[in-house]
Structure formats: structure tokens, C-alpha cells
Structure 1
């Protein structure tokens, strides 16, 4: 398991590209940066989409991708905070600082040539969530291919009417 640490979360495409993880050479860092970028979505969907396009490289988001992300965040602004170390449903998914993301792989992570499936720990779920990256051999960069980070998690205690 790798724990990727970030002092701050990017708010713009320029800030994203300036982050140490933005070299796109380390797949675990690309996974953590994906979490950091998606965390901005409730505040600024348009800028998040620009950063996701950067992380996706030669394959930018299409209209269906954008609608899918919008639908997943509806009423769940807390969703991505659950991927940061220190967050729990009890503390309204408030991450510990600096921001840390735990990323791991399993026996099947490298089963497909040129692709790598990593798993991101989520405090609102019972098991880590998968994220698939694709390698571009000519540059050695890893790009976001698909993610399953936007699925349901436990409702934070502060928003749970039945708590």
C-alpha cells in the first residue's frame, strides 16, 4: 500500500499541473491526484472537468461522462472527502491534514497489458474502490482510464436523519 501526501488540493488546472504528482509517471500519484481533483467538483464542476481532462490525457471527458459525474454528486458533496485519511462518517468526512490518500493493488491489478487497476481506501465503504489507469509507453505517463470512486458510501452522521 502507498500513502500519497498532498499539502493542498488543486483549485485550478494550473495548480493541478504544478503539483508534484502531476508528472503522471507514478500511477499511485495519478490515483491520489484523481481523488484530489474530484474533491473540487461540488465547488467548481467546470474546473474539475478541465483537470480530469488533463488526467485523462488523449481521451477527454465526453458529455455522457460529465453527466454521470454530475448525477453522482447530486446531494453528496461529502463523497470525495471519504477517500482522505482521517475522514469518517462520524466526523462528517473531515480529512486529517496534510491530505493523504491510501492506494493499493492486488493480484489482478496488472492482468491487462498497458493498464493498471489500483484501489483507493474509502472510509465510507467496506472495501477500497477501483480506479483504472492506462500507460502511454511513448512517454511513460499514466492516465486515468476509468474510475469507480463515485459510488454510494455511508451517509455522514451530520446529514443522517436516522442517526
Structure 2
């Protein structure tokens, strides 16, 4: 093989490999028209969205937000939004329908108090510059996956949710239960801190 032919072959191979590596990742869109405010509205919200992994991921986000606003109702929402691996059987305080959040999940929730603006960073329109103030409803969320994410068919897939306060989207692993509902199995990255909101000096208005 001549040197020219060899170089041409290598160029084609490099182009093909580069294209494969940088091919656009699949995207998943979820539309939200109403926000649940208690466990009754949350369960209806979950049942309507969590039939897909991307819908289940957004359900988990709103379970966390409900917990921030109302820990009692939010705890119930989290219990029905997370995978069974995150639960323990209980009828005591903080339980719902015979289950309670496990210790590691309860520990993660402490991040919400530490970074009260964190969850808003996932909402459309919210940015550090505007103090993480989201746009009004309806919301449209766009999630992505990659070639290492797994598949819907396997019943487990890792998706990525953008945060305006982070350089890269945050992963959340979803698992489908026996009733076809997608629940959050791993979501700790959603609760990692984000960029602090911009602050203004009241004297600037003088």
C-alpha cells in the first residue's frame, strides 16, 4: 500500500472515530403544566409522568422541591418517587404506606437546607444572575443520555439534567418497577452545591 493511500485510509478512520465520539447525545423532553403541592396531587403527577424515565426524573425533582417547601408532604412524595432500594419498611414517624426513607437518603436531604437555591437551578429561566428565579409555568425540561447510560429496555438508565449553576448536567439513575413506574435509584448528584446566586448591594440604588 502506498504512503498516500495509507494516509487517506487513516484520515477516513480518524474522521469516523471522531464523529462517533462526538455524536449528539439522545435528548428527552418533559413538559410540566402544574406543580404538586401535597401528596394527593403529587401521586397524580407521578402517575402521569413517571411512565418514562425522563418523566420519573422530573417527578423526583419536584418531590425534592415539595420536601423543601413542606417536609411532611415532601417526605411522602419522596417515598413514592424513589426506588425500593432507597426505602425501609416502617410504620413509625416519617413513614408512608408502610415505608420510610433509608438513612442515606435522609442524609442527602440535608444538602437542601445547606443550599436552599440549589433545586431552583434545575428550573427553566432560573440563573445565578437572577437569584435562581424560575420562569412561570409551563416548564419544559430537556434531559440527555450517553452511550454508557444503559437502555430503557433494560429497565435502568442514567439521564442527565442541566443545572444553570453547574458546568455540566447532573446524572440521575432511574429504574422501572414491576408496575412500569420509573423511580430514582441514584440522585445524589442533584444535591451537590451549585454556584451561589448573584447578590446586589442595596446602596447601588441610592
- Give the TM-score range, shorter chain: 0.7 to 0.9
Match of 2:53 among 12, 17, 27: 27
Q: Which runs of 5+ in 2 are unaligned?
A: 1-26, 88-100, 202-206
Question: Which of the pair is proportionally richer in helix?
Answer: 2
> What is the match of residue 5 of structure 1?
31
Q: Note closer, same or farther for the CA distance 1:57–1:14 as it changes in structure 2 (3 Å cut).
A: farther
Alignment of 1:72-151 (within 5 A): 72-98=111-137, 99-110=139-150, 113-136=154-177, 138-147=178-187, 148-151=189-192
Q: Normalising by structure 2, what TM-score?
A: 0.69
Q: Note closer, same or farther for the CA distance 1:93–1:3 as it changes in structure 2 (3 Å cut).
A: farther
Q: Normalising by structure 1, what TM-score?
A: 0.85
CA contact (8 A) 1:133 1:144 kept: yes
Q: How well do the aligned residues superpose, as a CA RMSD in angstroms?
A: 2.3
Aligned residues: 158
Superposed structure 1 runs of 4+ greater than 6 Å apart = none
Distance 2:179 2:68 in 1: 32
Q: State the structure with more CA Rg.
A: 2
